[in-house]
Amino acid sequence: MKEEIKTLKDYLPDIERYFKEDCYCPNEVYSVDGFGYRLVYADTPAKLLDEGYCHNDKVLLFETMSEREHPILLNVWIEGNKVVETERYEVSQENIDNIKKYLHDNTHKFKLTEADDLAKSVKEVLSLSNGLVMID
């Protein structure tokens, strides 16, 4: 029996509103460095990998399965039925295992598999300027 493919909005009816209204620019989901983003859409096919808590906030972990883009891991923070935050990560079994463990034990510390690449890219961006201003 073939597994039904669901989209992010099938799991999270509020995700479309979040992507449209709450993202810095519509559909932008940032990595942990706060610089690199990917465009993610409510109709992106996704597989729910786990759910847990991060400092009392409910968090769902997804792996996207889009044919247009490389898959990503996506954490989605939820308060009630409202999506309040998203963050993306590189798909690797190590990241999946560590994020799942963290969602069930917030004392678990780990290094994302892409951490070195993220640090290098941020260093390159900062080397191109004399300063950086971030406006929220």
Q: What is the pLDDT of residues 16-65, one digit of tens each?
A: 999 999 999 999 999 887 778 899 999 999 999 999 998 888 999 999 98
Partners of 6 in the beta sheet?
A: 46
Q: What is the pLDDT of residues 79-119, one digit of tens each?
A: 999 999 999 999 999 999 999 999 998 887 778 876 555 55
Q: For tokens 């786990």, what's the residue?
A: 50
Element of type H or E holding 104: helix 93-104
Strands (E), 4-102: 6-7, 28-30, 37-39, 45-54, 57-64, 73-79, 82-89
Alpha-carbon span 84 to 96, nearest angstrom: 21
pTM score, whole prediction: 0.80
